[in-house]
Amino acid sequence: MKAKLDKIFFTPVSPVTLGFFRIGFGLIMIYQFYSIQPYFFESLIYSNYFIKYDFFEWVELATEENLHLIFNTAIVFSFFVTIGLFYRLSSFIVFLIWSYLVLTDLGHNNNHYYLIGMFLFFLPFIQANQWGSIKNISKKSKLIPAWNYLIFKLLILILYFYGALAKMNKDWLTGYPLKYWLHGRTSFGETIQTFLESDYTVLFFSYYGLFFDLLIGFVLFHKKYKYYGLIFLIPFHILNHFLWPIGVFPWFSIFVTVLFFDKELTKLFKYKMADREVYIQKQKVFVKWGLVLFLSFQVLFPLRQYLYSGQTNWHGYGEFFAWRMMLTDKQGAVRVRLYNQNEVYLGEVSMSGYINDRQLFKLVYIPKTFVPFCKFIEKEILSDPRNTKITDVKIYVDAFKTINNRPFQRVIDEKIDLTALDYSVIHKAKFILPFKNTKIKEGYNTITFDEMLRFMN
């Protein structure tokens, strides 16, 4: 076992492709930091409440002035990563800033932010500056241990595989939600619109997406079949770019496949491995078992969604960090009612006065997050000097949600005062009502942000 792991993790390999990846990844991070700024500066900084990640409640959003400094610093050090200047320090700073920005609020959570974070986490520990960096302009590069590639390859495999597992449900296999998502694509022209709205097209895309995610990670590991895998991978992600607003993820997914073609790029750049020195990996035992533990966590952590009864898409437990990507169409509506200690109705919470649309969607879709939100509102009311006659606040939530265009259902028990509850990270909240698997409606209509704020009977 030990000898096999040593061979898998520490076989000397060419640094060319990893250096090439570093250059591209650095440029992607420059684009990412630039592209997410409008959301922070035009929306998030005006929120008066932030949805916290479990265990990261202490992360606070910086002031506007400091945010500008943070983003500018991130872009500068991303450029340093690209050229390999102060490589380890630069990549560590980029990781810290990216993690901070992601953790400031749950509202902008998505899967590819998490994937980028995992890649950035390992960047300071690998030898991605052994080729194509300022460091090696006048020096010859050394061979590097194989785990520098393997860790990223396995993360990609895990991402795709769990993405496939999540699609193995009745809705997806019968064409939902793609039947709605592919409808009304008038910008592509009448012919393509008709093609996309066909039931055969919907089912083809549904099953193509499932089997693509299930197999592509394994195919890329195969020496011969990986070339054929590109025939399916590249059009798949390009199509995703034009069909869905998912940012840089399709292009990033195409780019990271270069890691599976390290020998090919080594030949392309005419790198002769026999003439190169070997980079000696220190503390092999620490590295080896650290990787085993990390990968074990990545395999086991997404499975926590199966520990909870009911629909993950409904109650939200195990939803995050489990690669549940583009899986269901969810819409919601909410009203938050306030009462004093004598059960006298005080009015409704103006949700738009506290949070933006992304945050509101996350509150409804992850219902347990209403508990800290209601406690925050309670504290705000009791601390207001105008409310001296109010000694206690009771808050009830009317929250409705629909999955794949089923009729709206209550997701929260409207008779429970959420300020009286303790927030639990692990235990499933009893105030979340069970999902009723009703029939999907054929006619589909999206709701606006204003409509989402509206109480729906």
Structure confidence by residue, pLDDT tens digits, 229-243 = 999 999 999 999 988
Calpha distance 172→58 (Å, rounded): 38
Whole-prediction pTM? 0.92
Band of the pLDDT at 136, cuts 50, 70, 90? confident
Using alpha carbons only, give the angle 384, 416, 411 rounded to the nearest 5 degrees: 110
pLDDT greater than 90 at residue 388: no
Do 340 and 296 lie in one domain? The reply is no
Alpha carbon distance 250, 236 (integer Å): 9
Residue that wins the pLDDT comparison between 76 and 391: 76
Neighbours of 57 (CB within 10 A): 12
Among 276, 307, 338, give the residue marking a domain's end: 307
Res 457: pLDDT = 33
Q: Is the pLDDT of residue 452 over 60?
A: no
Of all helices (H) and strands (E), which one includes residue 330? Answer: strand 330-340
The per-residue pLDDT for range 246-256, each reduced to its tens digit, is 889 999 999 99
Identify the residue with better confidence: 60 or 137. Answer: 60
pLDDT at position 88 over 90: yes
Q: Are residues 237 and 117 in the same domain?
A: yes
pLDDT confidence band for 451 (50 / 70 / 90): low
Instruction: Read off the pLDDT of each residue in 282-309 and give the average, rounded to a whole number.
Output: 90
pLDDT in tens, 320-345: 999 998 889 888 889 999 999 888 99
Does residue 446 share a domain with residue 363?
yes
Percent of residues, the chain, with pLDDT higher than 90: 70
Mean pLDDT of 167-184: 91
Question: 273 or 314, which is more confident?
Answer: 314
Specify the pLDDT at position 453: 54
pLDDT of residue 96: 98
User: Looking at residue 448, what is its pLDDT?
Assistant: 59
Residues 281 and 358 in one domain: no
Note whether residue 197 is domain-resident. Answer: no
| The pLDDT value given to residue 270 | 83
> Which of 238, 272, 307 is the endpoint of a domain?
307
Which band of pLDDT confidence, cut at 50, 70 and 90, is reported for residue 455?
Answer: very low
For residue 158, give the amino acid letter: I
Mean pLDDT of 125-150: 86
86 phi, psi to nearest 5 deg: 45, 50
Q: How confident is the model at residue 139 (pLDDT cuts 50, 70, 90)?
A: low
Phi and psi at 437, nearest 5°, equal: -80, 75
Domain match, 154 and 297 both: yes
Same domain, 398 and 278: no
397 forms bridges with which residues in the sheet?
Answer: 336
Residue 249 CB: number of other CB atoms within 10 A? Answer: 20
Q: What is the mean pLDDT of residues 104-111?
A: 94
Same-domain status, 290 and 419: no
**Residues 410, 274 within the same domain:** no
What average pLDDT does range 145-151 have in this prediction?
94
pLDDT above 70: percentage of residues in the chain: 94
Q: What is the mean pLDDT of the chain?
A: 90
> Could you read off the pLDDT of 33-70 as tens digits, one per residue?
999 999 999 999 999 999 999 999 999 999 999 999 99
Same-domain check for residues 281 and 354: no
pLDDT value of residue 400: 92
Structural domain that includes position 370: 329-453
Tell me whether residue 134 is in a domain.
yes
Give Cα 89 distance to the centre of its chain.
Answer: 25
Q: What is the average per-residue pLDDT within 194-209?
A: 93
- Co-location of 368 and 444 in the same domain: yes
301 and 348 assigned to the same domain? no
Confidence (pLDDT) at 414: 94
Identify whether residues 385 and 431 lie together within a single domain.
yes
Total count of domains within the chain: 2
Confidence of residue 456 (pLDDT cuts 50, 70, 90): very low
C-alpha to C-alpha distance for 105 and 101, rounded to whole angstroms: 8
Instruction: Tell which of 261, 276, 307 closes a domain.
Output: 307
For residue 245, the model assigns a pLDDT of 82
What tokens appear for 292 in the block?
């085993």
Could you report the per-residue pLDDT of 91-103, keeping only the tens digit for each?
A: 999 999 999 999 9
pLDDT at 356 over 60: yes
In whole angstroms, give the CA distance from residue 370 to residue 362: 10
Residue 176 lies in a domain: no
What pLDDT band is residue 444 in, cutting at 50, 70 and 90?
low
